[in-house]
Amino acid sequence: MRVAVLSETEANEGRVAATPETVKKLKGLGADVAVEEGAGDKSGIPDSEYKAAGATIVADAAKAVAKADVVLSVRRPSVAQLKGINDGAAVISIADPYGNEAELKKIAATGGALFAMELMPRITRAQVMDVLSSQANLAGYRAVIDGSAEYGRAFPMMMTAAGTVPAARVFIMGVGVAGLQAIATARRLGAIVTATDVRPATKEQVESLGAKFIAVEDDEFKQAETSGGYAKEMSKEYQAKQAELVAGHIAKQDVVITTALIPGRPAPKLVTKKMIESMKPGSVIVDLAVERGGNVEGVQPGKVTTVNGVKLVGHLNVAGRLAASASALYARNLYAFLETLIDQEKKSININWDDELVKATALTRGGAVVHPNFGGSNSSKAEAPAADAKPAAEKKPAAAKKPAAKKPAAPKAAPKAARTAATKTAKPAVKSKSKSKGA
């Protein structure tokens, strides 16, 4: 089994898909690991460390992927980079499939099976594979550091002989993983922190970190979360009410950090030009959603600009600005997923296409796009619930009918027992679902 680790080609991408730690683990699974020369340089990992872990260093992508069974990368590799892979090879990356259906078709034509790590389901089993959480956590931290660097004043209140320096006021918009880490980091730096989100479950999380929660808490707000734990797109009416509340609050803030993203959709606009104009000169807004269009009106991707004395920070790939830490976490996410695709006795790739992790993340297979959200059709995904439901419908009534022939009174008790059993088995399912929301 040959595993190829590619060097990233985008200028602002400093992460790498494997570290010496995960290379050692892959070797333990029986893999021959080929790392493209210089792949870890921007993450502070020289080729010599990969060699010491047991990897072979190769000159370019073509030599790395030649006869590869697995290809690991951070960003979705190009078709040219995949030339020479084995038919059916697993290509695992942050694939960015939304709006890139044409590219998915080209990769499908290479014969590779492309997996998108960002589509990993939010279930307990997959927590260790959750790249969105691992990378967003770092992005939230870095956003506060970037904001403080641009702000030019101290964050904590300082009382000196020359007078008092007031604490900075920081407002976090969007309380997912990135937002929660931003709250925690700003609090550690001594700022007065407020936060807002459309999901009611976040209120308690915000307050537990010592910040104040700001939101329009109406009936729509109470139902603003998907089963997967993501924010729903809110109605125009709610957005207008929330914007009015935020407009009055944002004028008093020194640093604003926006993190709101909805998978597969453009980033919602949270901060208007009028709101920016209401802020004090010297204030800072950091937009973590800039790669999806941005939450802030007028923000420019990859640039720090000034509007009315307010700095708009639009850094790209914010997690990648902490390349060493981001690579360490991402490589562990990849390894945890790859481990489920390997037959450890035969030491070879053995993908179970009925596995819920595979169904959720597989984009291409057998020369075609297979994910139903991107123009493909995954028949096993549609059939699985029906197959699971059928035995449940057949077994319980059968158990209830047998006693009915012997005792006339038994049929009444049997359905009651069946209903009791059904209730007992249903309750854990509800609990496990709520756990996945919290994750």
The domain that contains 153 carries what CATH number?
3.40.50.720
Report the alpha-carbon distance of residue 31 to residue 8 in Å, rounded. 22
d(CA 410, CA 405): 9
* CA 361 to centroid of chain Cα atoms: 12
pLDDT of residue 228: 59
User: If you ran DSSP here, which 8-state letter would residue 266 be given?
Assistant: P
Please report whether residue 423 resides in a domain: no
Rounded to the nearest 5°, which phi and psi values hold at 40?
A: -100, 5
Residue 353 maps to a domain:
yes
Please, where are the H alpha helices in 177-293? 177-188, 202-208, 236-250, 273-278
H or E stretch covering 427: helix 410-438
| 151 and 112 share one domain | no
Distance from C-alpha of 365 to C-alpha of 112, rounded to nearest angstrom: 7
The amino acid occupying position 428 is P
Residue 149 lies in a domain: yes
Task: Specify which residues 90 forms β-bridges with.
Answer: 70, 113
Q: Are residues 73 and 172 in the same domain?
A: no
Do 212 and 188 lie in a common domain? yes
Q: What is the pLDDT of residue 145?
A: 98
Q: Domain check: are 38 and 111 in the same one?
A: yes
In this prediction, residue 264 carries a pLDDT of 79
Answer yes or no: do 291 and 363 share one domain.
Answer: no
Q: What total number of domains does the chain contain?
A: 2
**Residues sharing a CB contact under 8 Å with residue 185, sequence separation 6 or more, in sequence order:** 140, 141, 144, 145
> For residue 324, which of 45, 103, 64 has the smallest C-alpha distance?
45
Residue 424: the pLDDT is 42
CB 310 within 8 A of CB 298: no
In a domain, 331, yes or no: yes
Instruction: Write down which residue in 361, 380, 399 finishes a domain.
Output: 380
Please report which residue ranges of 271-378 form alpha helices under DSSP H: 273-278, 323-339, 356-361
Neighbouring-strand partners of residue 284: 255, 311
Whether 307 and 343 share a structural domain: no
The answer as to whether 387 is a domain residue is no
First-to-last alpha carbon distance for the chain, in angstroms, is 33
Instruction: Report the Cα 17 to chain-centroid distance in Å.
Output: 16
Q: Are residues 180 and 296 in the same domain?
A: yes
Q: Is residue 125 part of a domain?
A: no
Catalytic residues: 122, 127, 130, 133, 230
- Asked, for residue 190, whether it belongs to a domain, the answer is yes
Quote the CA–CA distance of 350 and 356 in Å, as a whole number: 15
Q: Give pLDDT, residue 62.
A: 96
Same domain flag for 180 and 310: yes
Token pair of 309 as six digits: 């004395």
Q: How far is residue 75's CA from residue 7's CA, in Å, rounded to a whole number?
A: 10
400 domain-assigned: no
Helix extents (H) in 97-218: 101-108, 131-151, 177-188, 202-208
Task: Verify that 161 and 205 share a domain, yes or no.
Answer: yes
Residue 68 shares a structural domain with residue 102: yes
- Supply the DSSP symbol for 303: -
Question: What residues of the chain score a pLDDT lower than 50?
Answer: 379-439
Same domain, 233 and 374: no
Same domain for 282 and 333? no
Domain with 101, as residue range(s), is 2-119+322-380
Measuring CA to CA, which residue among 76, 12, 5, 6 is closest to residue 42?
A: 12
